[in-house]
């Protein structure tokens, strides 16, 4: 993990006075990915309090899911650190975290009787990922499609209850807003990168 912290320290030093634009951009994307992983681990474990107060009956089961997720992602962080955070793999690392978040929370949605509360928490995965990660929209879409398919064929929900109607409308809304945010963040980043490259080429 020492490599990781040295990488972060060096990055914030370089941001103040970047010497190599391409290298700084690569490090910026990696730093966003590392931030995504650290935040995900922290929030995932913190929401154990949510389980305790909202669905105590499943508290032990849910904590096992949360801790298992945190351990796996921490191992990914260590491996990525040992490999010196290669730029070519930042999307893979981010996507693994995104997929693991969905995989860890979906069993909670199936097991709990407090489905509306847990769907609200589930939405944080998509909103958070769309804002923090900078990548093409395809990376956002795949876990969304899997989640939707599982919702349609696995969850035992009476579609005529008020709770189910709210969820059925709420989740597509979350997906659409998250996709829009992802597209806007990615396009803004690409446009900014292009303009800076053009300015640099003119000044040379």
pLDDT per position as a tens digit, 112-132: 988 888 988 899 999 999 999
What residues in the chain have per-residue pLDDT under 50?
A: none
Which string of DSSP letters, residue by residue, matches 72-84?
Answer: HHHHHHHHHHHTT
Which of the 8 DSSP states describes residue 137? T
First-residue to last-residue Cα distance in the chain? 39
Spatial contact of 65 and 104, defined as CB atoms under 8 Å apart: yes
Q: What is the pLDDT of residue 167?
A: 78
Q: What is the pLDDT of residue 134?
A: 95
Q: Write down how long the chain is.
A: 204
Spatial contact of 159 and 168, defined as CB atoms under 8 Å apart: yes
Residue 99 Cα distances to 17, 57, 58, 196, angstroms: 36, 26, 22, 33
3-state secondary structure of 160: coil
Where are any strands of DSSP class E within 5-95? none
Task: Give the residue from 139, 112, 115 showing the smallest Cα distance to 36.
Answer: 139
- CA gap 101, 96 in Å, rounded: 9
Residue 173 Cα distances to 13, 74, 179, 180, 181, angstroms: 40, 31, 10, 11, 12
- CA gap 45, 97 in Å, rounded: 14
Q: What is the pLDDT of residue 11?
A: 60
Flag whether the pTM goes above 0.85.
yes
Phi, psi of 62 (to 5 degrees): -70, -35
């Amino acid at each position: 993990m020492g490599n990781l912290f040295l990488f972060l320290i060096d990055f914030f030093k370089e941001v103040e006075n970047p010497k190599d634009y391409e290298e700084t951009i690569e490090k910026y994307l990696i730093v966003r990915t590392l931030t995504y992983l650290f935040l995900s681990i922290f929030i995932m474990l913190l929401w154990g309090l949510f389980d305790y107060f909202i669905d105590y009956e499943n508290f032990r089961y849910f904590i096992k899911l949360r801790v298992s997720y945190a351990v796996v992602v921490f191992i990914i962080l260590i491996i990525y650190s040992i490999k010196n955070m290669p730029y070519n793999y930042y999307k893979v690392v981010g996507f693994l975290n995104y997929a693991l978040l969905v995989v860890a929370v979906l069993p909670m949605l199936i097991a709990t009787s407090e489905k509306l509360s847990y769907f609200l928490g589930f939405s944080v995965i998509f909103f958070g990922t769309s804002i923090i990660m900078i990548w093409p929209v395809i990376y956002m879409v795949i876990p969304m499609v899997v989640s939707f398919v599982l919702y349609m064929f696995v969850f035992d929900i009476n579609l005529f209850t008020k709770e189910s109607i709210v969820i059925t409308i709420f989740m597509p809304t979350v997906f659409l807003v998250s996709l829009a945010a992802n597209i806007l963040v990615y396009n803004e980043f690409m446009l900014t990168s292009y303009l800076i490259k053009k300015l640099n080429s003119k000044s040379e």
